[in-house]
Chain A
Amino acid sequence: MLRLVNLAVIGVLVLAAAWLYEIKYSSTRQAEQVAKLRLEIRRERDAIAALRAEWAQLDNPDRIQILARRHLTLKPIEATQFDSLDRLPEKPIDIVPPGTTDPIGALIEHMVDPEVVTGGVPDREASQ
Chain B
Amino acid sequence: MSKILLTKAVAARMAEPWRRRFTRRMLYGRNVDRGATAKGRVGLAIAAFAVVYAIVALRLVIFAVAPESHAARRSGSQDAVATARPDILDRNAQILATDVRMPSLFGEPRKIIDVDEATELLTAVLPDLDGAEVRERLGSKRGFVWLKREIKPQQQQQIHRLGIPGIGFLPENKRVYPNGAEVSHLIGLVNIDNQGIAGIEKWLDGRGLADLHRAGFASDRQQTPIELAVDLRVQHALRDELIAAADKYKAKAAAGLVVDVNTGEIISMVSVPDYDPNNPREANDPTRINRLTTGVFELGSTFKALTVAMALDSGKVTLNSSFDARVPLRYGRFNIHDYHAQRRILTVPEIFTYSSNIGTARMALSLGVEHHRWFLKKVGQLDRLRTELPESAEPLVPKRWGELNTVTIAFGHGLSVAPLQAVMGINALVNGGYLIPPTFMRRTEQEARALATQVVKPETSEKMRYLMRLNAEKGTASKADVKGYYVGGKTGTSEKVVGGRYSKTKLLNTFTAIMPADKPRYQLLIILDEPQPLKETFGFATSGWNAAPTAGKVIARIAPLLGLEPRFELPPAERLILARGG
Chain A residues lying within 8 Å of B252, measured Cβ to Cβ, are: none
Which of these, A34, A59, A76, contacts B94 with CB under 8 Å?
A59
Among residues of A, the one whose C-beta sits closest to the C-beta of B566 is: A79
Distance of B272 from chain A, by nearest CB (Å) = 13
B180 in contact with A62 (CB, 8 Å)? yes
Which residues of A from 46 to 66 have beta carbons under 8 Å from B? 46, 49-50, 52-57, 59-62, 65
> Is A80 an interface residue, CB under 8 A from the partner?
yes
> Is A78 an interface residue, CB under 8 A from the partner?
yes
A60 in contact with B179 (CB, 8 Å)? yes
Q: Give the A interface residue count (CB, 8 A).
A: 26
Interface string of B27-69 (1 = CB under 8 A from A): 0000000000000000000000000000000000000100110
What are 30 contact pairs spanning A and B, CB under 8 A? A31-B68, A35-B68, A35-B71, A45-B221, A46-B100, A49-B100, A49-B221, A52-B95, A52-B98, A53-B95, A53-B100, A54-B178, A56-B178, A56-B179, A59-B178, A60-B179, A60-B180, A60-B182, A61-B233, A61-B237, A62-B240, A65-B236, A65-B240, A76-B556, A79-B483, A79-B484, A79-B556, A79-B566, A80-B484, A82-B566
> Is B205 an interface residue, CB under 8 A from the partner?
no
Q: How far is the CA of A76 from the CA of B553 in the complex (A)?
A: 11
Chain A residues lying within 8 Å of B557, measured Cβ to Cβ, are: 76
Q: How far is the CA of A26 from the CA of B237 in the complex (A)?
A: 60
Interface string of B157-192 (1 = CB under 8 A from A): 000000000000001000010111010000000000
Distance of A76 from chain B, by nearest CB (Å) = 6
Chain B residues lying within 8 Å of A77, measured Cβ to Cβ, are: 560
Chain A residues lying within 8 Å of B221, measured Cβ to Cβ, are: 45-46, 49
Q: How far is the CA of A31 from the CA of B65 in the complex (A)?
A: 11
Q: How far is the CA of A35 from the CA of B75 in the complex (A)?
A: 10
> Is B150 an interface residue, CB under 8 A from the partner?
no
A61 in contact with B232 (CB, 8 Å)? yes
Chain B residues lying within 8 Å of A57, measured Cβ to Cβ, are: 178-179
Among residues of B, the one whose C-beta sits closest to the C-beta of A82 is: B566
Given contacts A79-B484, A79-B485, A82-B560, whether A49 and B98 have CB atoms under 8 Å apart is: yes
Interface string of B547-564 (1 = CB under 8 A from A): 000000000110110000
Which of these, B94, B482, B565, contacts A56 with CB under 8 Å?
B94
A60 in contact with B101 (CB, 8 Å)? no
Main secondary structure of the interface of B (DSSP, over half): mixed
Distance of A110 from chain B, by nearest CB (Å) = 40
B483 in contact with A60 (CB, 8 Å)? no
Chain B residues lying within 8 Å of A55, measured Cβ to Cβ, are: 95, 178
Distance of A58 from chain B, by nearest CB (Å) = 8
Given contacts A60-B180, A60-B182, A65-B236, whether A82 and B556 have CB atoms under 8 Å apart is: no
Chain A residues lying within 8 Å of B236, measured Cβ to Cβ, are: 61-62, 65
Distance of B94 from chain A, by nearest CB (Å) = 7
> Is B99 an interface residue, CB under 8 A from the partner?
yes
Given contacts A31-B67, A79-B483, whether A53 and B182 have CB atoms under 8 Å apart is: no
Instruction: Beyond the given A62-B179, A65-B236, A65-B240, please list 9 additional residue pairs across the A-B interface where CB-CB is below 8 A.
Output: A49-B100, A49-B101, A53-B98, A53-B176, A61-B182, A76-B556, A76-B557, A79-B556, A82-B560
| A-B pairs with lowest CB-CB distance, top 7 | A79-B484, A56-B178, A61-B236, A79-B566, A56-B95, A57-B178, A46-B101
